Chain A
């Protein structure tokens, strides 16, 4: 996982802190570098929450507009990434869904991303089906649990950063993630092709498994 504040490979090699300081001094390229570094992640998060690509683009623009206005107040010692994601999450949830817009679920976005995947057609179809199952199960989670799962698996944030984004203690984040994964496990256990085994009684471990009550049936005399 990429630690916060580190430069991305192939991009600007400066850290977030250096870029924030430079942007404060009016260096436009520094702010542009921050934009290019985080625009995709914020777009993905906005798309996953709003399910509207154009709304997700607006969220990216609004998030960086707010960041630009808050440059003087930003603490460069703190990590910029959770701050940006927090703004993006708030903007996404505060955005009213537009009328007459066909919303796309996570599965649709995955299908679009997989359109150019190479491989035999049956294999590609099988992989797409498995992804559809998993992402459909994620969509059925509650908003709080879904957000934690998306921030971790979609945006690659660690638990500390997620706690900053959702503004709650790290223990709460762990609890939400634990609940979400257990729920997903229950959902996905019904599909053996995913390789998730259904829960079995722990016979071999010394714990007594639940057995059905079988009382002897009396034989009635005719």
Chain B
């Protein structure tokens, strides 16, 4: 005894039968089965009505036309049709490569020539305001002269400060003035 009613396993057939190119024999088989199976009979009836409604609805759409010429396709293909095999493209590739390398070289030359390499510059000592003041003053007496000399001609002062002594009768045939090498913040 069947406790639960199960759907017919062939109930899919009627719906797809409308779309399939079935032979007359297959159609007859479906009709025969539908005559004895209420579920398939109802499905067949439904499928026909839905199929009819769909065909009627899509009928005007199937008449749609588009005004397109095959020239559009040729236009889309135009650039590609000119291209040939890779062997034909090789000279063009080399030419392009030469152009690019020249461009890169010129660019590097222009950029490299315009940039000055930084020179090794000795760090400048901070200039003292007091030194600047005394450097501008004209020497009035001997002491001032030596002070001025020490402030302005520091290179000569270094030379003089060297411990090497020339022989007597030479350039420094007198008692050299010993300059204090260490700069002082305040004038003496």
Contacts and interface: CB of A to CB of B under 8 A. Distances in A.
B-side interface size class: 35 or more
Interface stretch (A11-19, A78-86, A94-102, A191-199): A191-199
A159 B76 contact: no
Interface string A23-41: 0000000011001100110
Interface string A148-178: 0100111010110000000000000011011
Contact of A196 (B50, B57, B72): B50
Interface stretch (B60-68, B136-144, B148-156, B168-176): B60-68
A113 B5 contact: no
B56 interface: yes
Among A36, A44, A174, A181, the most chain B Cβ lie within 10 Å of the Cβ of A181
Interface stretch (B14-22, B102-110, B113-121): B14-22
B73 A178 contact: no
B40 to A, nearest CB: 11
Given A47-B64, A188-B50, A178 B12 contact: yes
B73 A61 contact: yes
B68 A60 contact: yes
Interface stretch (B23-31, B41-49, B84-92, B122-130): B41-49
Among B18, B39, B51, B62, the most chain A Cβ lie within 10 Å of the Cβ of B62
- B interface SS class: helix
A64 B73 contact: yes
B19 A205 contact: no
A-side interface size class: 35 or more
Contacts of A185: 46-47, 49-50
- A interface SS class: helix
Contacts of B98: none
A69 B80 contact: yes
A114 B21 contact: no
Among B15, B64, B65, B77, the most chain A Cβ lie within 10 Å of the Cβ of B64
Nearest to B60: A113
A118 to B, nearest CB: 13
Contact of A178 (B16, B41, B53, B65): B16
Contacts of B51: 181
B62 A44 contact: yes
B68 A206 contact: no
B64 A159 contact: no
Given A117-B60, A178-B12, 4 more contacts: A109-B64, A134-B57, A196-B46, A205-B38
26 contacts: A1-B21, A35-B73, A39-B68, A43-B68, A44-B62, A48-B61, A57-B68, A65-B77, A110-B57, A110-B61, A113-B60, A113-B61, A130-B56, A130-B57, A131-B57, A135-B58, A138-B57, A153-B58, A154-B62, A156-B62, A158-B21, A177-B16, A184-B54, A185-B50, A195-B49, A208-B5
Interface of B: 5, 12, 15-16, 18-21, 38-39, 41-42, 45-47, 49-58, 60-66, 68, 70, 72-73, 76-77, 80
List the 6 shortest-distance A-B pairs measured between CB atoms, nearest first.
A205-B38, A134-B57, A113-B60, A43-B66, A35-B70, A178-B15
